[in-house]
Amino acid sequence: MPQLDVVTYLSQYVWLLLGMLLILVYVGSGMIIRLIIASKLRVSLSGESSTDNKPTSSYSSTLRKLFL
């Protein structure tokens, strides 16, 4: 009987580790998707602001780059 208790004790940790790994993959993939979207948005915003030659547009594009 003590051997069965050790097996159930270890299986609880295995399920706990699997659950933590699943949560880590979920959060990590969400962060990667956010980084990809942010980089695409940053590229599109910098592409639009590069056509304007006014100082106000360069100031606003600098602010966009700082806060994105």
Predicted confidence (pLDDT) per residue in 6-26, tens digit: 778 889 999 999 999 999 999
* Residue range 24-60, pLDDT digits in tens: 999 999 999 999 998 888 888 776 544 444 555 566 6
Q: Given this model, what pLDDT does residue 52 score?
A: 47
The residue ranges of every structural domain in the chain are 1-44
Backbone angles phi, psi at 51, to 5 degrees: -80, -25
Which pair of tokens denotes residue 53?
Answer: 């030659």
pTM of the model: 0.49
Q: What three-state secondary structure class fits 68? A: coil
pLDDT score for 4: 75
